[in-house]
Amino acid sequence: MKLNLAQLTLYLCGGIVFTHFTRIPFWLVYFLALSLLLACILSLNKDFIFGILFAGLVFTLGCLLLKNSYTLSPSHISKFIFYKNNIVYTVKGFINSQPYPKDGRNSFMFTAQEIEFHNRNYKCSGDILVQLKDAKNFSYGEALLLRGGIHRPFKLYGRNISAIMRVNMPGSYVRLPENYGQPIRKFAFYLKSRIEKIIYRSLSPLTASILDAMVLGERRNIPAVVYDAMVKAGTVHILVVSGFNVGIVAFMFMLLLKVLRLPKTLRYITAIPCLITYCFATGASPPVVRATLMAIFFLAGFMIRREPDMRNAFSLAALFILLLNPRELFSISFQLSFVSVAAIIFLYPKLKLFFRAEAIKARPLRLIVEGCLVSLSAWLGTLGFILYYFKILSPVTVLANICIVPLATLITLSGFSLVVVSLIFPALAGPFACANELFVLLLLKADNFLIRLPYAYLYL
């Protein structure tokens, strides 16, 4: 019994889901994993039995991963706080994300190292979402001493935030000389801030907010009315950095390196750290991590002269993310990203065969039909999740993606071109800025037209 990577990924997901909905003891899962591992070793020469036992071992590994992710160390920050309290805490640690200044406040993730309250000091670990009332600039990796109230988060803040700290009083923080930032993340955040400055300096606020979302994944400045219109049309995915954007970045890097006449293998090796830097700059969300890993696996396949396999690259990306954090399986971002790509990989070839798209001899018509089938595959794959989470049905999505995705491609390409030209030849950036303004205007007009069609969307 031979198991491929896609099957192993499904078994791992099955174990994670099973543990999420049951209360199986950790010791029992651990004992089963050891037993299955021993049984696999003893049955190495028996293919069928080994396959069954190995599938069970992968399933049990999924159970162990989720159980372990829920197990916090005795010094975790959540052990020292409550949902509501009037205690004033002093916390020492460092900024572990890019700070976001807005309305005189700075928000960032803060990795705690020490905590003090009631005149007692404790070593601690874990991340805190800090909201600091100060307009000064802070940077990733900077060490701080903070003083304020801490409470447990409500469900609104998601699964990965265990504490929220508000620092409202003047003089309630001290900058420390240490810096704990990782060099590649420092460079990525520096690059991101440079790109954002170029975008907002060169374009109107509305166009800049949309381009910021499409190039860097920052949606915080998009007007609510624009975001709502794209949700209704089912095109909001273009405002999320995903494989589409990573593919464009990879293409531009490879093209630039080819122009510089670097050898093919060296181009692949150089492109990988560039993609990793872009991944960090966009916040390393599950869609970007998935697309970056798939791109890296493809480049590695080319380097060793092996034909890349889309299914294996997709499965390896899912396995990598779930091994690092199995709770990502329950995030909307992870589910929509992987289900849409899975639908394109597995469902699209069947739809293409069913509708006999290859038999269409007129190339332009065949490309249109294939584009419709790709859009239909992604829509069918994500339909159940969208209905469950957002309570909206958008039949216009299939048509919308045919119109909107080409425009999104032009916006992304012209946006990256604007950034590159502004960095190298600032005087030549004007035409690219005008092109961005035009493409974004067409995008918004097309989106508004589509949602006004009869039965374009229905709220359930």
What stretches of 22-46 show up as alpha helix (H) in DSSP? Answer: 26-42
Length, in residues, of the chain: 460
Looking at residue 172, its pLDDT comes to 86
pLDDT (tens digit, 0 to 9) for every residue of the chain, 460 residues total? 566 788 888 999 999 999 988 888 888 888 988 998 898 888 888 878 888 888 899 999 999 999 888 887 888 888 888 666 678 899 999 998 888 887 778 889 999 999 998 888 999 988 899 988 876 788 889 999 999 888 877 654 445 677 888 888 777 888 999 888 888 888 888 888 888 888 999 999 999 999 888 888 788 888 888 888 888 888 877 777 666 677 777 777 777 777 777 787 788 788 888 888 888 777 776 677 777 887 787 777 777 666 667 777 788 888 888 888 898 888 887 888 788 888 888 888 888 888 887 778 777 777 777 777 887 888 888 888 888 888 888 888 888 888 887 888 888 888 888 888 888 888 888 888 999 999 999 999 998 998 988 888 888 7
Rounded to two decimals, the pTM is: 0.78
Q: Which domains does the chain have, with CATH numbers?
A: 5-69 (no CATH), 77-181 (2.40.50.140), 187-459 (no CATH)
Q: In which element (H, E) is residue 102 found?
A: strand 100-102
As a whole number of angstroms, the distance between CA 60 and CA 33 comes to 6
Q: Which residues, at least 6 apart from 429, have a Cβ–Cβ distance to it below 8 Å?
A: 202, 418, 421, 422
Contact present, 62 and 19 (Cβ < 8 Å) = yes
* Helix, strand, or coil (residue 9): helix
End-to-end Cα spacing for the chain: 44
- Quick one: how far is CA 147 from the chain centroid? 32
Task: Return the bridge partners of 106, or none.
Answer: 101, 132
- The candidate with the shortest Cα–Cα distance to 393, out of 454, 442, 299, 460, is 460
As a whole number of angstroms, the distance between CA 271 and CA 269 comes to 6
As a whole number of angstroms, the distance between CA 254 and CA 413 comes to 14
Identify the sign of the CA torsion 318, 321, 323, 327. Answer: negative
Using left for φ > 0, alpha for ψ between -120 and 50, and beta otherwise, residue 73 falls in beta
Half-sphere exposure of 196 (CA within 13 A, CB side): 19
Q: In which residue are the tokens 């928000």 written?
A: 107
Eight-state DSSP code of residue 218: -
Looking at residue 434, its pLDDT comes to 92
- Quick one: how far is CA 425 from the chain centroid? 32
As a whole number of angstroms, the distance between CA 369 and CA 375 comes to 10
The identity of residue 61, as a single letter, is: L
Give the C-alpha distances (Å, rounded to integers) separating 237 from 11, 160, 217, 382, 408. 28, 22, 11, 12, 10
